[in-house]
Amino acid sequence: MRHIRNHTALLAAISSIAVVTAAPAFAEEIIIGAATAQTGGLAPYDQPALAGLRMAIDELNAKGGLAGKYKVNLIIKDTRSDTAQTATVTQELIDAGAKIMITPCDADPSISAGQLTQPLGIPSLTLCGSAPVLTQAVGDVMFGTYPADNLQATAVADFAIAEGKRKVFLLTSPDATYVANLPEYFGKVFEKKGGKIVGRGTFTMNQPDFSAEITNIKGLAEQPDLIMTAAYEPDFPAFIQQLRGAGINIPVYGADAIGTPTIKALGKLVDGVVYTAAGYPEAGSKLEAFNAAFTKHAGHAPESTYEVNGYEIGLILDQAVKTAGSDDPKAIRDAIANLKDFEGITGKITYAGTDRMPLRPVVLMRYEGGEPKYVETVVPAAADVPAP
């Protein structure tokens, strides 16, 4: 999940694109369907990830396609950030012959897509959806690719405890799985490690007024030393502006959906805000090299780690087809499910032994002086990660 508005002006105007890159004449074709948000609230997350995936496919097609044999025909259709529309375009992509499906950066539309791909055995990968309930709600064809919500929440909770935070206020919304559940996962880990939840608040997504929640926080008998929320755009900017405007300077922690240029543009207003990412481009790292290559390929620098996550999806699919030795959807699905310690750009990625949500590192970031600053890279202990 996960507002960047200017980077996809061209893509947002296109409702269906077939990306076909030249490959040797002997290559067979494999259709990958991409049901993604080119417009609406999810576009700022889907589009960077899709850009990374397209880069990977361009490179792979130049070498003959997946496994050097299957040239990719990537067909993209706009979900308009709508769950029902996601189901509609997913069916259109199935009808077009898709053997692999890419779904949006959110659980609800991805589940609607998965309900169509599951009976057909079509492996389906969400661009950056991170709700661990996603794979359980669909079945064995659905795969997450980004660090899961409960994994991110554990990393943030561990960090909060290490910083001496002991009392937290959780702000959630029932309108999206990500915003509803991630703070609750945080709360479970936080309490387990000695913290206390002193209050909870809820909001309606896309509401402009957070005065009720702010009054709630002000009126708590025990004031929190931390506010945890998975709110994202446009809700997070509205909340943090009104919170600080009310004179409340309690630190706010979030997750990956606030690692965007729009949040950064809030400047010192978001100083102290902690969030997560899939990687950090340390000097000499693979991610630093990827960012340089992406900039050359796309004509602009990556805006987040969603680009590299999309690129890694391409690498995962290439490895899966190599392992499968065919373009059979079931064989590809099985190969992804058994992937272990796959060397991606951001680190090792493992699906083997999981519920199809990957085990992978989580990066912690914090806004300081109006700029995102690297804190650390962690791999939370499996025993600490709460069950979905």
Contact between residue 27 and residue 62 where contact means Cβ atoms under 8 Å apart: no
Least reliable range by pLDDT among 88-92, 148-152, 314-318, 381-385: 381-385
Mean pLDDT over 241-257 rounds to 97
Q: Are 146 and 128 in contact (CB under 8 A)?
A: yes
- Residues 17 and 77: their CA atoms lie apart, in Å, by 7
For position 382, what pLDDT does the model report? 83
pTM of the model: 0.83
What is the predicted pLDDT for the residue at 9? 36
Q: What is the mean pLDDT of residues 358-369?
A: 94
The pLDDT of residue 27 is 60
For residues 356 and 142, the answer to whether their CB atoms sit within 8 Å is yes
Percent of the residues in the chain that have a pLDDT greater than 90, as a whole number:
88
Tokens of 334: 């099985």
